[in-house]
Amino acid sequence: MIEDFDQAILGMAVGEEKSFDATFPEDYRAEELQNKTLQFSVTVHEVSEAVVPELNDEFFEKFGVSEGGEASFREEVQKNMERELDSAVKNQTKQQVMDGLAKIHNFTLPFDVVQREISALKNQMLSQFQMPQGQAPQLDLPDALFQDQAEQRVKVGLVVNEIIVKHEVKADEAAVDEQLKSIAEPYDEPDQVIEWYRSNPEQMQNVEMGVLEDQVVNLILEQSTIEEVVASYADVLSGAATADPEAEADAETDRSEIDASETQEKTESAD
């Protein structure tokens, strides 16, 4: 959970109720919630303490390791960590390329397409809070909350599509196979997962589109100047390794100006 939430519920006891505001951080995984402040109402039903389990065969089997004991379990954990690391590096590199494409292109966006993207982002937010989509009208979420992100997505989508058409990029079959293997690898029956994807045209279209985007990213990287960054495992997974120091400084300046403005308004109101 976010820091504001954690701090607000510290010290609460079973049966206690509390309402409070919490602000999501700039780097929150759900982009539509970044820097947004929401009110939470919390009731504590139970307070428990985490207990570190014993490393034994019973524990290992819960994670699909039935042979080899602790050595096999640690090997499996390392493989999962490496898979997460590779995925984080790939996704963050891709995000930097997409952000760069959005930055250097400026054109009028189709209004209807932007509105559809706004609706999709609203439904995505509701699903994160496990709320039925039918409740969206009741919540009356303002379009402005999603406008910037929707415009960014639409712009990048149109630019990427133009690159695909201009350079006649087609989804590489070998890359599609590798992507399916990567998706299925964490499951107990990977072959069944792959078969399910291949029998589902909509899911296969999503996989192929992801591969196409990766090929576009590689195409752009081949023509770009690459700066490698040495970072810790934690910083890569959190996104701190690719954070833009200048953007962070600008954001901090903006926050300071806003705080100063609010303080001045409060002082004038008090006067």
Instruction: Dump pLDDT digits (tens) for 10-33.
Output: 999 999 999 999 999 988 878 888
Quick check: is 250 in a domain?
no
Task: Say if residue 43 is in the same domain as residue 75.
Answer: no
**pLDDT of amino acid 267:** 37
Task: Say if residue 37 is in the same domain as residue 81.
Answer: no
Task: Say if residue 68 is in the same domain as residue 121.
Answer: no
CA distance 135 to 118: 16
Rounded to 5°, angle at Cα 237 from 232 and 240: 70
3-state secondary structure 242-259: HCCHHHHHHHHHHHHHHH
Burial readout 19-43 (b: 16 or more C-beta within 10 A, e: otherwise) = eeebbbeeeeeeebbeeeeeeeeee
Span 205-221, average pLDDT: 93
Domain with 210 in it:
170-216
CA distance 109 to 116: 12
Task: Say if residue 20 is in the same domain as residue 30.
Answer: yes
Task: Say if residue 85 is in the same domain as residue 114.
Answer: no
Quick check: is 243 in a domain?
no
Quick check: is 201 in a domain?
yes
Quick check: is 252 in a domain?
no
CB 59 within 8 A of CB 53: yes
Q: Is the pLDDT of residue 48 over 50?
A: yes
Mean pLDDT of the chain, nearest integer: 85
Number of domains in the chain: 4
pLDDT per residue over 157-187, tens digit each?
999 999 999 999 999 999 999 999 989 988 8
Task: Say if residue 116 is in the same domain as residue 159.
Answer: yes
Tell me which residue of 156, 151, 153 sits closest to 97, measured CA to CA: 156
Quick check: is 226 in a domain?
no
Percent with pLDDT over 70 in the chain: 85
Quick check: is 114 in a domain?
yes
Task: Say if residue 179 is in the same domain as residue 125.
Answer: no
Task: Say if residue 35 is in the same domain as residue 1.
Answer: yes
Signed CA dihedral, 58, 62, 64, 65: sign only: negative
Quick check: is 231 in a domain?
no
Quick check: is 225 in a domain?
no
Q: What are residue 23's DSSP bridge partners?
A: 37
Where is the domain boundary, 71, 94, 117? Answer: 94
Name the burial class of residue 98, with classes exposed (0-12), middle (13-18) and buried (19+) by CB atoms within 10 angstroms of its CB: buried
